[in-house]
């Protein structure tokens, strides 16, 4: 009777992690790797102690296994490497071997993005989330066609709506974007070009709300200014009416004021007044001579 062939145990946790990534059809997170390792029970009594060590692995031990696997693949240079994109891990062929892989799989040459689409994608990647109008403000041209192309390639997606008037859609990148460009996270964009710092989504959300509040305050201030200007115009119109009333006097009042202004004893418009009188202001010393002359003339007349 032949003995049953025993399956050898893995030599390390790194070996287990490598096999899981190789067999998986989709990228795996650290949590998924840990749960897969813990899901295996000991099949034999003599192996229970070793299997229990793997079943009690922690997230930190999974991280160490991934780092060891990455270094081992780099040293081995076997045509594929460990790649982390968006918090998930997978094995990927080396870019230098891409043409040979396409020839084996009989794949066409991958389509390349045009310069305009790449510029639009870069703006979204660094400034997300942002609206279509904001993209057009930066580029200075219409980006409707570029956004459609990027959406069809699943490199960007709708991530919400803005708080601005009209609530336009906000655009952001997808996990496929990170996978396509070999980025572990969006934070690596800052490392590629320190002069283009990626925007903070939370800060941008606050800016949207701040803009909305600012626009409301500006509208209220404008309405207050219009009301104040109208009040000034009404007040000026009332003052003009009062001034016009003061200047409009009855004809008899004007005639009365004119008569009071005339000198006493002088006729108006060249006409003599019967009631006018003349004040004799001749000195008395000349009055006596006049009387004597009048007296002498009367005597001559009598003779």
Q: pLDDT at position 182, please?
A: 80
Give the tens place of pLDDT for each residue, 49-97. Answer: 778 888 889 999 999 999 999 999 999 999 999 999 888 999 999 989 9
- Residue ranges of the chain whose pLDDT lies below 70: 1-5, 42-46, 110, 193-217, 241-303
Q: pLDDT at position 193, please?
A: 66
- What b/e readout covers 122-147, taking b as 16+ CB neighbours within 10 angstroms? ebbbbbbbbbbebbbeeeeeebeebb
Q: pLDDT at position 120, please?
A: 94
Q: pLDDT at position 294, please?
A: 52
Q: CB-based contacts of 171: which residues, under 8 Å, 6+ apart? A: 124, 128, 129, 130, 131, 132, 135, 147, 156, 157, 158, 159
Q: CB-based contacts of 109: which residues, under 8 Å, 6+ apart? A: 102
Give the tens place of pLDDT for each residue, 146-182. Answer: 999 999 999 999 999 888 888 899 999 998 898 888 8
């Amino acid at each position: 009777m032949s003995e049953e062939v025993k399956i050898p145990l893995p030599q390390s946790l790194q070996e287990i992690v490598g096999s899981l990534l190789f067999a998986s059809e989709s990228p795996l997170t650290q949590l998924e790797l840990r749960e897969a390792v813990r899901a295996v029970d000991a099949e034999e009594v003599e192996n229970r102690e070793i299997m229990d060590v793997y079943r009690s692995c922690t997230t930190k031990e999974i991280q160490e296994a991934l780092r060891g696997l990455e270094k081992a693949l780099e040293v081995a240079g076997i045509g594929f490497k460990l790649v982390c994109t968006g918090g998930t891990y997978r094995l990927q062929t080396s870019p230098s071997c891409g043409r040979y892989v396409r020839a084996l799989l009989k794949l066409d040459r991958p389509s390349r993005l045009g310069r305009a689409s790449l510029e639009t994608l870069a703006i979204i990647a660094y400034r997300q989330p942002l609206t279509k109008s904001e993209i057009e403000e930066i580029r200075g041209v219409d980006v409707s066609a570029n956004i459609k192309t990027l959406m069809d390639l699943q490199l960007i997606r709708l991530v919400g709506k803005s708080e601005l008037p009209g609530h336009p859609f906000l655009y952001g990148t997808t996990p496929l974007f990170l996978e396509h460009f070999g980025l572990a996270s969006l934070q690596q964009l800052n490392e590629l070009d320190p002069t283009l710092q990626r925007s903070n989504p939370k800060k941008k959300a606050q800016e949207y709300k701040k803009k909305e509040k600012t626009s409301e305050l500006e509208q209220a201030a404008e309405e207050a200014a219009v009301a104040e200007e109208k009040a000034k115009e009404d007040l000026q119109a009332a003052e003009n009416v009062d001034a016009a009333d003061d200047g409009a006097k009855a004809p008899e009042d004007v005639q009365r004021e004119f008569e009071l202004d005339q000198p006493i004893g002088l006729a108006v418009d060249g006409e003599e007044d019967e009631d006018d009188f003349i004040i004799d202001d001749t000195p008395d010393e000349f009055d006596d001579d006049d009387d004597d002359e009048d007296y002498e003339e009367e005597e001559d007349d009598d003779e």
